[in-house]
Amino acid sequence: MADVSADLGTGRASVGAVLDFAWTAGEFTATEAMASTSLTRSTAIDAIDTLVGAEVLQELPNARAAGSYRSGRPARRFTLSSDIGIVIGVDAGDTHLAVTIADPLDRTLVHHRTDLDPSQSAAERLQTIIGQLQRALNETDRSRSDILAMCIGVAAPVDRDGVSPPHPDGFWERTNPGLAEALRDWAPVVEIKNDAQLAAIAEGSAGAAVGCRDYVALLSSERFGGGVVVDGHVLHGAHGGVGEGVVFDHIIGVGSAFGLRYALQDQVRAAVESGEIDRGSAMGRLTDARRIDPRAVLTAAAAGDPGALLVASRVGETLARVVGVLGSMYDPARVIVCGAVAESIEPVLAAARVILPEQLHLPAPELLASTLGGEVVSLGAVATARRAAREHAVPLLAERRLSARA
């Protein structure tokens, strides 16, 4: 973490060291801070007192007051202030919007998820997002001045300034309707990120990629998009387009960036049309609906339905080609299929694993289903906002408060 206001005189490095320690320590004593930071006892205590005075740390009742100390002088105990601020994570997908407000450590305060009309204009979409942000904020009884950091995930490439490049059909501009500019005054740190990159962050921090340094988080429900991690770093690119799914439009046997829910639907209809699935069977009757629920197909496959297993096998072939391309390009140890469809995708993964080794010359990556469900992008957005609060916003807050006292 960067120095907290080095121009305020000596001691700010020790303040920064103690603050960095406090993020993961929970409740701690000066002795524990001293041991972790290698500061002298007097320096550690001075830094702690400085942060308490800045209301970034709070002192807890000592062990005697808490009823757990029997003799001797009780140690002073500290923790990060409970009202230091909030962070916001947003998953602004094509057809849904999820807003999560959380504290900077581990507690969720508000979580809303709502459907979006994909026919909205960019201006309408922007107003919807801002309106839902304000609604969620109102429920917490907090104001914008309490926001430490925000992260918004969008279904588009995003450059380092939070801007998406032009799309031939205007899709990216509508998905990211000037969010960086519209929200820049909401918090000290506002980040706009590609949704697949946030899925990769979520999988690395709390999902199937914990401890893995080379992996791809493959968003695959509506459209294919990969969040790519190599040597422990999330890859970005000049325009934020690493892992962009348009490449699959050009892959024989895939032919489209549309995701697994559409592949399942198309294969059911094709098998019914060809007579491989009886139109009067349980699988066949699914085609009476305008849209086929992928969970119904996958649940039937898991139960051994022959028609559903046929569909799962063919979609598995498509997925194996997708993963083969990712494996050849990025050499991951794991590819994690993410999104709402991941909950029941195992029959497709089982079929894909059989033929995946044929799709690339490198060792095939381990193919896994995410356990984070449809909230994977939200979780990545909150994790990113928390990291920004830790690394940037809270040190700036402490600096301002210390400057005011100087």
CATH code of the domain made up of 215-371: 3.30.420.40
Residue range 281-309: mean pLDDT, rounded: 95
Q: What six digits make up the tokens of 154?
A: 């969008």
Which of 332, 244, 251, 261 shows the shortest CA–CA distance to 295? 261
The C-alpha torsion from 242 through 246 and 249 to 255, rounded to 10°, is 80
The whole-number pLDDT of residue 64 equals 52
Q: Flag whether pLDDT at 16 surpasses 90.
A: no
* 147-154/108-115 β-pairing: unpaired
Which pLDDT band holds residue 304 (cuts at 50, 70, 90)? very high
Q: How many Å apart are CA 153 and CA 155, to the nearest integer? A: 7
Integer Rg of the chain from CA: 25
State residue 9's pLDDT score: 42
**Top-tier CATH class for 86-206+376-392:** alpha beta
Give the whole-angstrom CA distance, residue 164 versus residue 73: 59
pLDDT of residue 3: 43
Structure tokens at 54: 């800045």
This prediction's pTM: 0.91
Q: Please give the Cα distance from 330 to 327 (Å, whole number).
A: 6
Integer Cα distance of 37 and 21 in angstroms: 7
> Are 54 and 18 within 8 A, CB to CB?
no
List pLDDT tens digits, range 236-275. Answer: 999 999 999 888 888 888 888 888 999 999 999 999 999 9
Strand 96-102 with 86-92, pairing: antiparallel
In the structure, what pLDDT confidence band is assigned to residue 71 with cuts at 50, 70 and 90? low
243: left (phi over 0), alpha (psi -120 to 50) or beta: left
Distance of alpha carbon 100 from alpha carbon 110, whole angstroms: 6
Structure tokens at 73: 């002088």
How do 28-29 and 77-80 pair as beta strands? antiparallel
The residue-averaged pLDDT of 371-392 equals: 96
Chain segment 91-135, per-residue pLDDT in tens: 999 999 999 999 999 899 999 999 999 999 999 999 999 999 999
Spatial distance between the Cα atoms of 67 and 51, rounded to a whole number of angstroms: 26
pLDDT band at 221 (very low <50, low <70, confident <90, very high): confident
Residue 97 to residue 373: CA distance in whole angstroms: 15
For the chain, domain boundaries:
6-82, 86-206+376-392, 215-371
Q: What is the pLDDT of residue 67?
A: 54
pLDDT of residue 72: 57
**146-190, pLDDT tens digit by residue?**
999 999 999 999 999 999 999 999 999 999 999 999 999 999 999
Average pLDDT value for residue range 291-301: 95
CATH 1.10.443.10 fits 6-82, yes or no: no
Residues 6 or more apart whose Cβ sits within 8 Å of residue 173: 122, 164, 166, 167
pLDDT of residue 11: 65
pLDDT of residue 73: 66
Alpha carbon distances (Å) from 283 to 249, 273, 304, 317: 28, 12, 12, 20
Q: Which pLDDT value is given to residue 400?
A: 84
Closest CA to 389 of 141, 114, 56: 56
Question: How far is the C-alpha of 226 from the C-alpha of 198, rounded, in Å?
Answer: 10
pLDDT at 52: 92
| C-alpha torsion sign, points 35, 38, 39, 44 | negative
Average pLDDT, the chain: 91
CA distance 353 to 115: 34
Cβ count near 60 (within 10 Å):
15
Residue 94 contacts residue 114 (beta carbons within 8 Å): no
Which of 52-66, 217-231, 298-312 has the least mean pLDDT? 52-66
Chain Cα centroid distance, residue 311: 30
Return the pLDDT at 393. Answer: 93
User: pLDDT tens digits for 190-201?
Assistant: 999 999 999 999
Burial per residue of 252-272, b for 16 or more beta-carbon CB atoms within 10 angstroms, e otherwise:
eebebbbbbbbbbbbbbbebb
**CA distance to 186, 234, 265, 279, per residue, from 272 (Å):** 52, 42, 11, 6
Over residues 277-287, mean pLDDT: 95
Of 248 and 218, more confident:
218
The predicted-structure confidence for 314-345, as pLDDT tens digits, reads as follows 999 999 999 999 999 999 999 999 998 999 99
Q: Collapsing DSSP states into helix, strand and coil, what is residue 38? A: coil
Q: Is-same-fold flag (6-82; 86-206+376-392)?
A: no
